[in-house]
Every structure is written in C-alpha cells, then in structure tokens.
Structure 1
Amino acid sequence: MKRKYSIVDIYRRVITCTQSVLMGIMVCSGGFAIAQQSTVTLEEAIQQTLQKNKNIEAASLDIEYQQQIRRTATDIGKTNVMYMQGQYNSYVKTDNNITISQSIPFPTVFTSQNALDRSLVKGAEFRKAVTENELVYQVRQVYHHLLYLVAREALLEQQDSIYTNFVKATDLRYRTGETRMLEKTTAETQRNEVLNQLAQIQADIQIYQQQLAVLMNSSHPVTIAATELSERKLGLPLDSVSISRNPNMAYLKQLKEIAANEKKVASAKVLPDLSIGYFNQTLIGTPVNASGELATKSDRFQGFQVGLAIPLWFGPQSAKVKAAAIHRQKVQTQFELSQTVMLAQWQQSAQEYIKNKSSVNFYQGAALANAALILKQSDIAFKNGEIDYTEYWLAVRNAMQIRENYLNSLNNLNQSVIHLEFLAGIQ
C-alpha cells in the first residue's frame, strides 16, 4: 500500500533536499577555494606586488602620459588660412585673396617648455620609485606580522595543550575529592580564555592574509611560505646618511627643478610672439605696368607679412611669473621640512631598533631558557603533588608570558628594521 504524503511532508522533503544540495555546493566551493590558495615567499610577494599592484600601473601610466606631453613642447598652434572675395579693391566683385598666417611663440618659450616637460617626465619616474618603495615596505610589514601571528598561534596552541592537561588533572582531583570546585572552574576558565585568544589570532591571520592578497592584487587567498619568526638583520649603518637614498627625497628634489622650470616658462611667455604670413590675391583693374595695362582675374599679386604680438597689458603675465616664483619658494620650504621630518623619523626608528634589539638579546640570553625550565619543573612538581594548582597556574602563566613578550619584542625589532630599510630606500 502506497503511503500518502501531506503537503507539509512534501514541503519538508523539498527543504531537506535543498539544504543538502546547498551544503554540497558549499563544500565543493570551499575545496575549490583551498585549491586556489597560493603560498608565497617574501621575495615572491614583493615581486608580484611590483608587477600587478594597481598603484604601480597608475605610476607607469603617468610616466607615459608625461612622455606624450613632452612631445607637445614644440607646438606652435594652428595655422590660419583665410579666403576673401568681393569688392575690396574696386567695383569688381570677383576679386579674391588667400592669406596664410602663423603665430609662433618666442624661441625661448620652446627651450624652457622642453626643459619643463623633461623634468616632469623625470618627476613621474621618481614618483614611481616612491610608490615602489612604499609598496615594498607595506608587503614586508604585513608578511612579517603574519609570521608573528603564526608564532603567537603556535604558542597559544602549546598553552592550550598545557591547560587541557591541567583541566583533566583538576577534574580527576575534584572527582576523587582531593580538591574543590574552585580549582576545577579556574582551570576551565583559563583554558577557555586561551581558546578565545587563539580564535582572535586566527581571525587576525585571515585579515592580514587578505591585506597581503590586496597588495599583490591576487584574486585568491594568499598564505606565507615561511613559518618561523626569526630576527631580520639590519644591513645598513645607523647614521642618517642612509636617508639620502630615500626615493621620496629625490622626488621632492625633482619638484624643486620642476618649479624652477615653470618659472622660466612663465618668464619666457612675457616676450612677444612672432607672426609671419603669406598672401596671394587678384587686383582686377589695377595697372600692372608703366604702359597702363590693367590686371585681369588671371593676374595675381603676392607678398608676405612679418610682425610681433606685443602684450600691451603686462599685469596678468607678470602675476603668473610672481606666482611661479612663490610656488618655487613653497616647494623649497616643503623640501626642507621633509628633510627635517625624515631625519627625525630616522633617529626615532634607530632608537626603536636599539631598544628592541636590547630586549630581544635579553630574552635570547637567559629568559627563554628559564621559561622552559619553569614549565618543565612546575609540570613535574604538580604531577607529583608538590605544588597546588595555584602555584602551577602562576608558574605556567609566567613562563608563557615570557615567551609571548619575546615574540612581541622580536616582532617590534623586525618592524623597526623594516622601517629603517624603508627610510633608506632599500628594496
């Protein structure tokens, strides 16, 4: 006998099937995303960023734009061609005149404009170098911070393992009546706190992986190939001479040259424009020789024109020259300010490096070894019943805090090295 299904039963079956299909799609999509995930070294991440980042593409297009603009430096404007017909000479209505004229800026305008355009091309090239330096700095920052987060994740997993065993031990003691509920609850709370921190770190790892993918202009997730957080060595002296290689300073210096050339262009445009022309016309009825023979429509007369276009109102152009001079002074002031700021940043970063280096040396010297010894001895003592849960928990927390502080100091040291490399323009 066939079973009859109600509308509700049919609806439930449809919902169940739909959920199963969606779950299958999600699993397949997840597997595909994992398959598409790429693992990169720091050098590979930098190389792909410099090749695919949209800021680099925009900087390259700006160079091409300025190169095309440079080709307009010799632009003399449009040639004026005029045709005239009518009674401009006599009663004859069929006289005609063809005039071709050209206005040409004073020659110094071309030389100064060409110099300005060359400096603009060079400025765009320096600006691209600034962009590359900034992107390399950002990639190194993100990559090394990911190394730090992975190290923190491993430390928390180790701490979770210790607390898991601690929870099991306190639970056994509680069930055998050797301890109170407070010890068991405290152990579980501490483990849950570690699990919460671990979840936060794992979320941060995903965030920084996404940041790295954005810098690389990657369409799929990116993971780092390196897994060990190690000290990044500083390969340059701490004196401030290193900042002379910073591409931003070269760019600002180039802006000074651009401002100087802009003033030269403004000054050159004060000079008069040159004007030349040629005309060819009929003068029907006009004597063409001493015998009195009159010109017909087949007789044409020609000549040329030469002139100067002199600015009668010097005020606007003079104001442009003064404005260009003020702009040049402003650029010079900005350059000097940037030098002062960059020098201060270098000195501050150098002090940060010295401070962080001293801290890392402290932990590598004895603190890390002592932390390992504390963990080992406290574990043995707790298992043998020589110390209670409070002493054991304090010992574990102190040892883990030492290791966490070491990771923080090592990350700070690496970030200070990366910032010094950025200020020195090292790619």
Structure 2
Amino acid sequence: MKRSFLVIICGIALIPLQGKSQSTIDEVLSEVSKNNKTIQANEEYIKAQKVQYKTGISLYNPTLEYDYLKGSPANAGNQTDFTISQSFDFPTAYSKKNQLANEQITQADIQYKLITQNLLFEVKKICIELVYRNKLQNPLTKRKAATERWLSNFQRRLKNGDGNILDVNKAEVQLIEIKKEHQENLSEIVRLNEKLTGLNGGNPLVFKDTVYFDFPAIPDFETLEKEIEDSDPMRKFLEQEKLITQKQMEVSKALTLPKMEVGYHYQGILGQTYNGIHTGISLPLWESKNTVKLQKARMSFAEMSLTDHKNDHYYEIKQLYGKYENLKSILNDYQKSTVMNDNIMLLDKALSLGQISSLEYFVELNYYNNTVNSYLKTEKEYFEVISELLKYKL
C-alpha cells in the first residue's frame, strides 16, 4: 500500500504547455509600451538626436567686416573698408556630411528599437514569473487547507482521548512551513505586480493570469539562428556603427581638402572707391592632422566589435537552444507520468481510513508537493528560454 502511494503521487495534474491565448501577456506588453517613461524619454531623446545629426552640415555663417580708418594728418583723408564673405568646405564635404547624418539617424532608430525590445523583454519575463507564481498559489492554498483540516482533526481527537500529541506536533510543524511558503509566494506576487506598475509609468497593472503564451513551432537550430541574426537589433546597431565610422572617415578626408571663401569687398580712400570680388583659400597644413588616422582606428574597433558580437551571440543562441531541448524533454517525461487530478484527496482518504500513519501522510504529501513544485518551476524555465529565443520578435 505504501509503495502504491509513492507511485500515485509521482503523477501531477499537468497543465498544457501552451495556453489557449497569448492576448493577456500581449495586452500587458502593449500597455507598457504606451505608458513606460523610459520608452517615452528615449523617444524624445532620439528625436533630439536626429535634429542634432542634421545640425552643422550646412554652410558656415556669412561674415560681415567694416573698417573706418581716420587719416593723419587731417588732410590725409579717411579710409572705409567693407567686406561680406562666405566661407565653405570643399564641395564634396557637404554630400559626405549629409550621408553621415542619414546613417546616424538610421542608427538612432535602431537604438530606439533595441532599448524598447530590451524593456519589453523584461516585462515579459515578469509576466512569466507571475504566471508561475499565480499557478503555484493554487496548490499552496490546497496544501494549507488540507493541513489546517488535519491539525484541527488531530487536536479534536487528542481532546477526545483517542489521538496523540505527536500527530498534533507533526501537523503544526507542517502548517508553519506551508504558511511560510504560501505567504512568501503571495508577497512575491505583490512585488512583481508593483514592478509591473512601475514599468507601466505608475499606472496600476495587476497580472492574474495562469496561462503562459502560444508560440510558433520552434524550427531547427540553423534556421532559428539565422532568423535571430537577421533581426538582431544589436547586430544591426554595430553594423551601422561600422558604416558610420566609414562615413566619418570620408568626411575627415573631405575636410582635409582646402576650405574656400568668396565675397564682395568695397574700399573707399581719398575720395576714390574700389569694389570687387573677395576670395580666399585655407591651406590644410595642421588643423586636420591625424583625423583620418583616428577614423581608421575607430573603423578597426567597429569591425572587431561586430565580429565579437556575432561570435558571442551565436554561442549564446546555441546554449539557449540546447537548454530548450533539454527542458522540452523533461516536460515530456512529466506528461508521460501517471496523471492524478487530486492526490491530496487520495492521501486524505488513506489517512482517514487508517491505511497510512500521519508520519507517512506528511512524508508522501511533501513528496507530492516537491513534484508539483519541480514541474511548475521547470515549466516556467521552459517558457523563459522560449521567450529569450523569440525575443527578436518583440
């Protein structure tokens, strides 16, 4: 009889791996994306960055110069000089600056996508943890109710003279542990919901669902890895950084070419006036020294950073995929085990019929509880890995 109960409580009331709907988590993600202060602040920051990138790529301000010189002695006459001029870089520099600004704006959009994706992924992880905690609360409540029931029963039997103090003590100790676990789980649910509220811009948000999310069939590793890499915003950000460095190098080279100045010059002296074209050219001797060399060094760094990220990301995905396959196998093993809808009820019946002692009851109850806890934790880890593999879809 004892062995049969060990077999029975190995089975747990398994919950399907995929929920019927992912709308609830999607609604949370949608709500946070609208209300989150970090996302809103970054949106404004990116707008400001785009304006900044387009600033300073036009012509320099024109220059006005006026000189009035008194002659000496008094009959020497006075001199008046007036010059209006416009200086500009070598013409090719402007197209290069404009190209650079466009690439920087593209990178700003990628940066915004990266920040938003990371934040929504954090929200999704909190939702997964809450689903786990909400699901765990149900068996914890049942365990607490069952133990309270038996403690009351043992106390009544002791009072009537057909019980013993050892049964009461076992039940009291068991109830203390269950109450502790029950309260800790409730506190964690409150904490996680408060965190969601904070990420939702302070707007109250309570997530009570006990269903995870639907997801498409996970393809083989090579296919999935390619999909992730093609959509990876960090890779795109680093690729854009490399392209920006290339454009900065082109701008630096263009700026090493001579700057020019054209304008109008008027001069009046001794009753005579002179006017005509004013021109000038700067000699690129010292101002741009080492700028191209600096951009080449930055280009080398950008290339190495991109290569390093691709390598690290590949093995990170590979590790996650291996963990996904392992957890999937473990959950399949749980599904193949004996499934019982209410093992606590069976244990209660066996104890009430005297088929097992109170000690055996609590040992078997703990065994069952540990099995349920292990399953729920494995299920949570499974969905955490899947959400990380599918992060690129956020």
* TM-score between the two structures when normalised by the length of structure 1: 0.81
- 1:238-277 superposed matches below 5 A: 238-239=220-221, 240-244=225-229, 245-277=231-263
1:336 aligns with 2:307: yes
Gaps of 5+ in 1: 1-39, 285-295
The one-letter amino acid paired with 1:355 is N
Name the residue aligned to 2:365.
396
Equivalent position to 1:64, from 28, 31, 47: 47
Provide the rounded CA distance (Å) in 2 between the counterparts of 1:213 and 1:177.
Answer: 54
Percent identity (aligned): 20
Deviations 1:39-77 (A, max 9, x none): x93222211222222222233223322332343354222
Q: Give the paired residue count.
A: 367
Name the residue aligned to 1:79.
62
1:312 CA drift (Å): 2.5
Asked if the contact 2:150–2:171 (Cα under 8 Å) also holds between the matched residues in 1, the reply is yes
Asked if the contact 1:41–1:225 (Cα under 8 Å) also holds between the matched residues in 2, the reply is no
The residue matched to 1:310 in structure 2 has which SS?
coil
Equivalent position to 2:25, from 42, 45, 64: 42
Provide the rounded CA distance (Å) in 1 between the counterparts of 2:217 and 2:79.
Answer: 84
Provide the rounded CA distance (Å) in 2 between the counterparts of 1:139 and 1:327.
Answer: 35
1:234 CA drift (Å): 4.6
Asked if the contact 1:119–1:257 (Cα under 8 Å) also holds between the matched residues in 2, the reply is yes
The one-letter amino acid paired with 1:348 is Q
Provide the rounded CA distance (Å) in 1 between the counterparts of 2:378 and 2:216.
Answer: 15
Name the residue aligned to 1:324.
295
The residue matched to 2:288 in structure 1 has which SS?
helix
Equivalent position to 2:114, from 86, 111, 130: 130
- 1:241-390 superposed matches below 5 A: 241-244=226-229, 245-284=231-270, 296=271, 299-313=272-286, 317-367=288-338, 369-370=339-340, 372=341, 374-390=343-359
The residue matched to 1:217 in structure 2 has which SS?
coil
CA gap of 1:131–1:231, structure 2 versus 1, over 3 A, is: closer
Asked if the contact 2:128–2:212 (Cα under 8 Å) also holds between the matched residues in 1, the reply is no
Provide the rounded CA distance (Å) in 1 between the counterparts of 2:67 and 2:112.
Answer: 54
Name the residue aligned to 1:11.
none
CA gap of 1:71–1:189, structure 2 versus 1, over 3 A, is: same
Name the residue aligned to 1:106.
90
Name the Cα RMSD after superposition.
2.1
Provide the rounded CA distance (Å) in 2 between the counterparts of 1:88 and 1:346.
Answer: 82
Provide the rounded CA distance (Å) in 2 between the counterparts of 1:378 and 1:398.
Answer: 12
The residue matched to 2:256 in structure 1 has which SS?
coil
Name the residue aligned to 1:426.
393
Provide the rounded CA distance (Å) in 2 between the counterparts of 1:88 and 1:98.
Answer: 17
Provide the rounded CA distance (Å) in 2 between the counterparts of 1:89 and 1:243.
Answer: 81
Asked if the contact 2:78–2:269 (Cα under 8 Å) also holds between the matched residues in 1, the reply is no
Asked if the contact 1:89–1:95 (Cα under 8 Å) also holds between the matched residues in 2, the reply is no
Asked if the contact 2:144–2:175 (Cα under 8 Å) also holds between the matched residues in 1, the reply is yes
Provide the rounded CA distance (Å) in 2 between the counterparts of 1:323 and 1:338.
Answer: 23
Gaps of 5+ in 2: 1-22
Deviations 1:216-251 (A, max 9, x none): 2133x321152x244643544242112221222111
Equivalent position to 2:181, from 191, 197, 200: 197
Provide the rounded CA distance (Å) in 1 between the counterparts of 2:217 and 2:237.
Answer: 24
Provide the rounded CA distance (Å) in 2 between the counterparts of 1:406 and 1:275.
Answer: 77
1:237 aligns with 2:219: yes
Name the residue aligned to 2:205.
222
